[in-house]
Amino acid sequence: MDRLQNQTEQNLKAIRGSFLDFVDDPFYVPEKESVRYLPDGLLVLENGKVKEFGPYDELQAKYGEVSTTVYTERLIMPGFIDIHIHYPQTGMIAAYGEQLLEWLEQYIFPTEEKFQDKVYAREVSDIFLDQLLSNGTTTALVLAAVFPQSVDAFFEAAEARNLCMIAGKVMMDRNAPESVCDTAESAYQETKALIQKWHKKGRLHYAVTPRFAITSTGEQLQKAGELLREFPDVYMHTHLSENVKEVEWVKTLFPDCEGYLDAYDQAGLVGERSVFAHGIHLTDSEFQRLSEAKSAIAFCPTSNLFLGSGLFKIEQAKSADYPVKVGLATDVGAGTSFSLLQTANEAYKVAQLRQQKLSPFKALFLATLGGAKALCLEDTLGSFDVGKDADFIVLNPQATKLMAFRNSTEFPRTLDELADRAFSLIMLGDDRAVQATYILGELAYGTP
Could you say which of ligand GUN, Zn ion, none residue 104 binds, taking C-beta under 5 to 8 angstroms by partner kind?
A: ligand GUN
Choose the binding region for ligand GUN from 14-22, 58-66, 100-108, 364-372 (rule: CB under 6 A). Answer: 100-108
Position among 161, 239, 281, 313 found at the interface with ligand GUN (CB under 6 A): 239
| Cβ atoms 46, 34 nearer than 8 A | no
Nearer to ligand GUN, 21 or 246 (CB): 246
| Amino acid letter, residue 391 | D
Alpha carbon dihedral 269, 270, 272, 274, in 10-degree steps, equals 60
Pick between residue 86 and residue 199 the one whose CB is nearest to ligand GUN: 86
Q: Which residues, other chains included, contact 410 with Cβ-Cβ below 8 Å and sequence gap of 6+?
A: none
Total residues in contact with ligand GUN, by rule CB under 6 A: 11
Q: Shortest Cβ distance from residue 343 to ligand GUN (Å)?
A: 14
CB of 193 to Zn ion, least distance (A): 24
How far from chain centre, in Å, is Cα 348? 17
Is residue 430 within the footprint of ligand GUN (CB under 6 A)?
no
How far apart are the C-alpha atoms of 193 and 210, rounded to whole Å?
16
Q: Name which of Zn ion, ligand GUN, none residue 190 binds, using a CB cut-off of 5 to 8 Å depending on partner kind.
A: none
265 touching Zn ion, by CB under 5 A: no
By CB under 5 A, how many residues form the interface with Zn ion? 2
Nearest CB to ligand GUN, comparing residues 203 and 239: 239
Give me the least distance between CB of 371 and ligand GUN, in Å please: 18
Of ligand GUN, Zn ion, none, which one does residue 425 interact with (CB within 5 to 8 Å by kind)?
none
- The DSSP code sequence of 121-165 is HHHHHHHHHHHHHHTTEEEEEEE--SSHHHHHHHHHHHHHTT-EE
Report how far Cα 409 is from the mean position of its chain's Cα atoms: 32
**Which residues within the stretch 184-223 sit at the binding site for ligand GUN (CB under 6 A)?**
211-212
Query: Which of ligand GUN, Zn ion, none is residue 435 near (CB under 5 to 8 Å by kind)?
Result: none
Q: Is there binding between residue 182 and ligand GUN (CB under 6 A)?
A: no
The CB-of-104 to ligand GUN minimum distance in angstroms stands at 6
Distance between CA 52 and CA 12 in Å, rounded? 10
Tell me how far CA of residue 48 lies from CA of 68, 260, 331, in angstroms: 15, 42, 29
Instruction: Count Cβ atoms below 10 Å from residue 252 Cβ, excluding itself.
Output: 7
| Ordered DSSP codes for 297-327 | EEE-HHHHHHTT-----HHHHT-SSS--EEE
Residue 388 contact partner, candidates Zn ion, ligand GUN, none, CB within 5 to 8 A by sort of partner: none
In angstroms, give the least distance from the CB of 298 to Zn ion. 8
Q: Which stretch of DSSP H or E encloses residue 69?
A: strand 68-78
Answer yes or no whether residue 281 interacts with ligand GUN by CB under 6 A. no
| Cis? peptide before 333, omega within 30° of 0 | yes
Q: Residue 328: which of 316, 319, 311, 340 has the closest Cα?
A: 340
- Chain centre distance of CA 191: 22
Terminal Cα distance for the chain, rounded: 30
Q: x-or-dash pattern for Zn ion, window 329-358, by CB under 5 A?
A: --x---------------------------
Binding residues for Zn ion restricted to 315-334, rule: CB under 5 A? 331
Rule CB under 6 A: say whether 286 interacts with ligand GUN. Answer: no
Which residues between 289 and 318 bind ligand GUN (CB under 6 A)?
A: 303
Of the CA atoms within 13 Å of residue 129, those in its CB half-sphere come to 24
Radius of gyration of the chain from Cα atoms? Answer: 22
Tell me the closest approach of the beta carbon of residue 213 to Zn ion, in angstroms: 14
DSSP 66: S
- Determine, following the binding rule CB under 6 A, whether residue 334 of this chain makes contact with ligand GUN: yes
- ∠ CA 324-85-211 to the nearest 5 degrees? 80
Q: Residue 242 touches which of ligand GUN, Zn ion, none (CB < 5 to 8 A by kind)?
A: ligand GUN
Query: Pairing relation of β-strands 434-439 and 442-446?
Result: antiparallel
Stretch that binds Zn ion, among 129-137, 198-206, 272-280, 430-438 (CB under 5 A): 272-280
Q: Which of 100, 153, 171, 394 binds ligand GUN (CB under 6 A)?
A: 100
The residue with its CB nearest to Zn ion is 331
> Using CB under 6 A, which residues numbered 351 to 390 contact ligand GUN?
none
Residues in touch with Zn ion (CB under 5 A): 277, 331
- Residues forming contacts to ligand GUN in the complex (CB under 6 A) are 86, 100, 104, 108, 211-212, 239, 242, 303, 331, 334
